[in-house]
Amino acid sequence: MQFKIEKIIIDDRVVEDALTLQVSSRLPDADVKIIHHKELAQELESITLTEGKRILLITRRSGELVKPCPATNPPYLCCRYTVINQAWQCPMDCTYCVLQGYLGKSVMTVFSDTDVIHSQIIALLESEPRRFFRFGTGELADSLALDPLTDQAAQWINFFYNRPNTLIELKTKSDNIDGALKAAPSNAVLAWSVNPKQLIDKEELHAASLEARLVAAKRAQEAGFMLAFHFDPMVLFPGWEQAYRNVVQQIFSTVDSKRIIWISLGAFRFPPSFDDVIRQRFPGSGILNAEMIRGLDGKMRYIRPLREKLFKTVVDEIRKYDKNLFLYFCMEAPWMWDRILGWTPDNNGHLDYHFALSVKKRFPQIDMSTPDIADYFD
């Protein structure tokens, strides 16, 4: 691990849970504090986000732990990813990370009530038995950053092993894959967020280097896992064109493109209020220097010509290596799809359907129903 956890806060209801005992045993030097669950909010109230990067809370959570990706407002499209909220916050400290202003808790949090999450997943699958679901744990936390402590990656891979009409994607900026590789790959995807070295070094504190991520991806491929890569968020900086081309070249010179299930692209965007958070926590960052406007969803975005150039540069480079690889945008409007990728989903359900078609064609060994567009609309 490239970070240090100095304190563990334990909800009094989970003191004897297996996850609590395991994490505690692997952090013998950490300060441990057991708090009554009704006093947790008060305990956490004064902890800053920077302090919270060194504190781990183990607790339970009531309510929905499995839900659709929060996405954004129309006309920007969403891929209908289903998020498993097994954890909140992250030990890495990326300047652009929207979790800095999105979550109420400032400390890293893992939930021990995995059985509740399992039941919610099964209920969802039973409600739409023919739809192909893509699940992921990397929305509100890095999927693998804490895995040397929690061993949750292998547990999720085993839970989804050969489960029909499902796929689990574990997304990370780390190289912590030893635990995941202990499980049989089946319908599991190990995915990496990627950026040029210039950005990783300056804007992604405690994250693994690009080289380390790609070495891990090659190990995952050799173990039989499907791979994915996410150019998100893409950030403009002097020399970005060749820097992003270099990332693409490094990916395809390291792994077999036939093992890549998809690649996503998304430009840096954020709620207007997030500007102050970045300037306060990272006064030396340059990620706010480029020209931005407020988009139709209210988020700050690069102006359209800059986004087009950013996406086209990377897509053109990817297509040199694999013309059939499924590419998609995160939170972009239909006109950007048409302009850069040459096609436009009619809506979110239509995009979800095309994901299923692509997986069926590229990885026919996955147990899934033949996609029917009627199954992808409520």
Look up tokens 């950005």; give the residue: 199
pLDDT of 317 reads: 98
Residues 6+ apart with CB under 8 A from 272: 294, 298, 299, 300
pLDDT on residue 311: 98
- Amino acid 103: pLDDT: 65
Distances (CA, A) of 142 to 107, 126, 236: 14, 28, 23
Distance CA 252, CA 259 (A): 11
According to the model, what pLDDT value does residue 233 have?
A: 96
Residues contacting residue 340 through CB under 8 Å, at least 6 positions apart: 308, 311, 312, 315, 329
Closest to 241 in 3D by CA, of 143, 309, 326: 309
* Cis ω for the linkage preceding 28 (within 30 of 0): no
pLDDT at position 72, please? 81
Tokens of 226: 């499907």
| 3-state SS class at 320 | coil
DSSP for 235-247 reads ---TTHHHHHHHH
Whether the Cβ atoms of residue 264 and residue 341 lie closer than 8 Å to each other: no
292: β partners: 302
Enumerate helices (H) and strands (E) in the chain, giving the number of each. 14, 18
The pLDDT of residue 22 is 95
Are 101 and 273 contacting, i.e. CB atoms less than 8 angstroms apart?
Answer: yes
Which amino acid type is present at position 149?
L
Neighbour tally for 302: CB within 10 Å: 21
pLDDT at 104: 62
Residue by residue, pLDDT tens for the chain (378 residues) are: 567 899 999 999 999 999 999 999 999 999 999 999 999 999 999 999 899 999 999 999 877 889 888 778 888 888 889 999 999 999 999 999 988 877 667 899 999 988 999 999 999 999 999 999 999 998 889 999 999 999 999 999 999 999 999 999 999 999 999 999 999 998 999 999 999 999 999 999 999 999 999 999 999 999 999 999 999 999 999 999 999 999 999 999 999 999 999 999 999 999 998 889 899 999 989 999 888 999 999 999 999 999 999 999 999 999 999 999 999 999 999 999 999 999 999 999 999 999 999 999 999 999 999 999 999 876
Read off the tokens for 370: 């033949």
User: Residue 75 has what DSSP assignment?
Assistant: T
Q: Please list the helix, strand and coil fractions of the chain in percent, rounded to the nearest 5, in that order.
A: 40, 20, 40
**What domains can you pick out in the chain, each with its CATH number?**
58-376 (3.80.30.30)
Strand pairing class (7-11; 31-35)? parallel
- What is the reported pLDDT for 73? 82
Distance CA 107, CA 109 (A): 6
Report the distance separating Cα 307 and Cα 292, nearest Å: 10
Q: Residue 69: CB partners within 8 Å, gap ≥ 6?
A: 78, 79, 80, 81, 82, 83, 139
Contact 210, 229 (CB under 8 A): no
Torsion region of 353: left, alpha or beta (phi above 0 gives left; psi -120 to 50 gives alpha): alpha
Do 287 and 203 touch, CB atoms closer than 8 A? yes
pLDDT digits (tens, 9 = 90+) for 100-139: 877 667 899 999 988 999 999 999 999 999 999 999 998 8
Exposure string for 286-298, b = 16+ CB within 10 A, e = fewer: ebbebebeebebe
- Kind of pairing between the strands at 300-302 and 269-270: antiparallel
